[in-house]
Structure 1
């Protein structure tokens, strides 16, 4: 399955990070330019619903989770306790819903930074790979647990549609609900830490790749624009996200080359059709027999040619800019053109044929044009969406460690 490839790369890469972190190329993340963090009064507890201890894991147990890397034992620093948190957030339609996520807490009295980890794509039939299930098949169980043990309290939201909210459809690549579910998880994590006397040191980091990169970018924007009184983003490192949805849609619909991942784009289209109340039938978007087949199974096989899959009038409406409803939905999910205040590094493989590199290039250009001096573009030369994961993990964690 598509993102099993990412998970297998990530576990090895994360451990290698901490082996070579001191030798990594120096980051231009400047501490002098970053606004200092200040202690804020505690906000009222309004998000955390419940916390359940999943387990406590020794350093020996954590090191043994990646047995093919002998350095693991040296990299693990603290035992960790893993909790399933449930918390209140809102659906894309604004209705309250109980969501869930995993919170990984090192066993120490030292004040630690809070790190929000946004996971990549999980198909509904792989739902138990969501963080709060804490299964061995997920990167949260292996790679992210090792990261936590080095000294980060890690909040890993499931997002809406998984875990406690699995009765809801997952709003795939919907920026505002990915961001709000992640932010509310951070709020619940802070409430938990206050109650359990797990001290935080006021630093807040954001990481995620692919859908997680898109969610990370959306979360960073939301935190700085609407939650600055609660959190200061210390640094973020989104990887390979589809930040420029409008341009991405045109790229797909105008393509004459085979596209190997059209089923994921179908999911995005289905989400926007529902979330924005457009509610067109599948026959509007897709040619037959694909419309009927996707109606029965939205995650079924599709052809690789956009012109074969997508109906001509639909394609024309986007490409000639006459489909105002759908174009407005794409623009609502364009999160490439804004001015971040905290250091932000954009990582992306230059040969990515799943989420094209121009998404990060466009974001970098737009942010720099707005005067964002601490935004960096970190291309991964020749990297595909999958082969870039190891380099992303190594480089992103090296980046945030210096902020």
Structure 2
């Protein structure tokens, strides 16, 4: 089968993988919708609260030669393209972090073929508010789904690529960065809308479902896998998933950051996470609780303004001390609610992560692997990318993750 042979062959081209094959790395998260009351009898998955298809718009149709040209800088990858693809923008219903119904969007990539195909949910990496046009539904040359993911679709996957809340149709809303429940629910509702679209358009689906994503997309992929198996197993069965470089152990990650004595290059992203949790979990403390001056005032005016690299210079000592001593109950609860490392997946799952990642440290994947194995998960693999940092490992992840899922195609 072309999937197995070629993808495993491509995995050896690690020297090529620094070419931008789609990924905009960084982590991301959000808050959970209000829980539905459980049925009084035997436990069942809750009824879907979103995922109704609202509209579909054809963006374009692209032949194999066009798709291959988008990855021409990487030898052999273009040879994977087997079918033309049609790309659609879907809008669909989902719920925001406050439980309100909203309209979200995403891209759906559909191979032009009569055979039944699997669904693949692709969760994108971090998109800064100033780069909103990189969201999948815009299908621009700067979006992750435009190049390698489109070639992947052309091999025979129907790719569902959610924008997440805060981009595309919901761009007027703040993106709940690194909030696991809403990243998962927006992605699951996009899958529901994709399935409805396929039924209406008589696109044949088989029963296989794959999950991919790197950085914030890796975190979202892990959260989605967990949500499907725990809450939507009557709708979808995960065939295999391959999250990459996600911040799965938020509680440990927060302490790692606040305890750091060395300069950290990505404090702006961590500030975004903290501000998201402060808002989403209704903690609503003034920024002076978290940040020293002048940064508290500066971040109040522009949440994405520059901050120093030294943790002690940015964060107040009282905040750092309280979290490290487990005395900040509201924030500790928020971190714990976004821990997605300690559960037992049923489907095959491969954790990819660069061992030299100084953005989302490797221990996030190591901790997930250890916890899952301890719970008896037998189909979990840890795939270290030796010497890779968050950015250099992204290309390696792309090919090796494709190779992993291709075993189950």
Q: Same fold, TM exceeding 0.5?
A: yes
How far does residue 298 in structure 1 lie from its aligned partner after superposition? 0.7
Q: For residue 221 of structure 1, what is the aligned residue in structure 2? A: 226
Give the secondary-structure state (helix, strand or coil) at the position aligned to 2:145.
coil
CA 1:158/1:20 → structure 2, altered by over 3 Å: closer, same or farther? Answer: closer
8 Å Cα contact 2:358-2:389 kept in structure 1: yes
| 2-structure distance, mates of 1:46, 1:270 | 28
8 Å Cα contact 1:57-1:80 kept in structure 2: yes
Q: For residue 40 of structure 2, what is the aligned residue in structure 1? A: none
How far does residue 121 in structure 1 lie from its aligned partner after superposition? 0.2
C-alpha offsets along residues 205-240 of structure 1, whole Å, 9 cap, x if unaligned? 000000000000000000000000000000000000
How far does residue 260 in structure 1 lie from its aligned partner after superposition? 0.2
Give the secondary-structure state (helix, strand or coil) at the position aligned to 2:161.
strand
In the alignment, structure 1 residue 98 sits paired with structure 2 residue 103: yes
How far does residue 72 in structure 1 lie from its aligned partner after superposition? 4.6
1:330 to 318, 327, 335: 335
| 2-structure distance, mates of 1:145, 1:380 | 24
Q: For residue 352 of structure 1, what is the aligned residue in structure 2? A: 357
| 2-structure distance, mates of 1:226, 1:311 | 39
CA 1:18/1:135 → structure 2, altered by over 3 Å: closer, same or farther? Answer: farther
8 Å Cα contact 1:54-1:84 kept in structure 2: yes
Question: 1:11-30 maps to which residues of 2 (within 5 A)?
Answer: 19-21=6-8
CA 1:187/1:277 → structure 2, altered by over 3 Å: closer, same or farther? Answer: same
Give the secondary-structure state (helix, strand or coil) at the position aligned to 2:341.
coil
Question: 1:143-222 maps to which residues of 2 (within 5 A)?
Answer: 143-222=148-227
8 Å Cα contact 2:51-2:190 kept in structure 1: no
8 Å Cα contact 1:17-1:393 kept in structure 2: no
How far does residue 21 in structure 1 lie from its aligned partner after superposition? 2.7
8 Å Cα contact 2:123-2:212 kept in structure 1: yes
Q: What value does the CA root-mean-square deviation take over the aligned residues?
A: 1.9
Q: For residue 291 of structure 2, what is the aligned residue in structure 1? A: 286
| 2-structure distance, mates of 1:253, 1:46 | 38
How far does residue 67 in structure 1 lie from its aligned partner after superposition? 3.1
Structure 2's unaligned 5+ residue stretches are: 13-47
How far does residue 64 in structure 1 lie from its aligned partner after superposition? 1.6
**What is the count of residue pairs matched by the alignment?**
372
C-alpha offsets along residues 89-115 of structure 1, whole Å, 9 cap, x if unaligned? 000111100000000000000101100
| 2-structure distance, mates of 1:58, 1:383 | 34
Question: 1:41-190 maps to which residues of 2 (within 5 A)?
Answer: 47-69=52-74, 71-190=76-195
8 Å Cα contact 1:45-1:191 kept in structure 2: no
TM-score for both structures, normalised by structure 1:
0.89
Give the secondary-structure state (helix, strand or coil) at the position aligned to 1:137.
coil
Q: For residue 389 of structure 1, what is the aligned residue in structure 2? A: 394
1:276 to 275, 281, 285: 281
CA 1:72/1:358 → structure 2, altered by over 3 Å: closer, same or farther? Answer: closer
Q: For residue 343 of structure 1, what is the aligned residue in structure 2? A: 348
How far does residue 58 in structure 1 lie from its aligned partner after superposition? 1.2
How far does residue 69 in structure 1 lie from its aligned partner after superposition? 3.6
C-alpha offsets along residues 182-214 of structure 1, whole Å, 9 cap, x if unaligned? 000000000000000110111000000000000
| 1-structure distance, mates of 2:406, 2:316 | 48
8 Å Cα contact 2:51-2:191 kept in structure 1: no
Give the secondary-structure state (helix, strand or coil) at the position aligned to 2:384.
strand
| 2-structure distance, mates of 1:116, 1:327 | 30
8 Å Cα contact 1:160-1:181 kept in structure 2: yes
Q: For residue 30 of structure 2, what is the aligned residue in structure 1? A: none
Structure 1's unaligned 5+ residue stretches are: 1-15, 26-42
8 Å Cα contact 1:18-1:75 kept in structure 2: no
1:239 to 231, 240, 244: 244
| 1-structure distance, mates of 2:397, 2:115 | 28
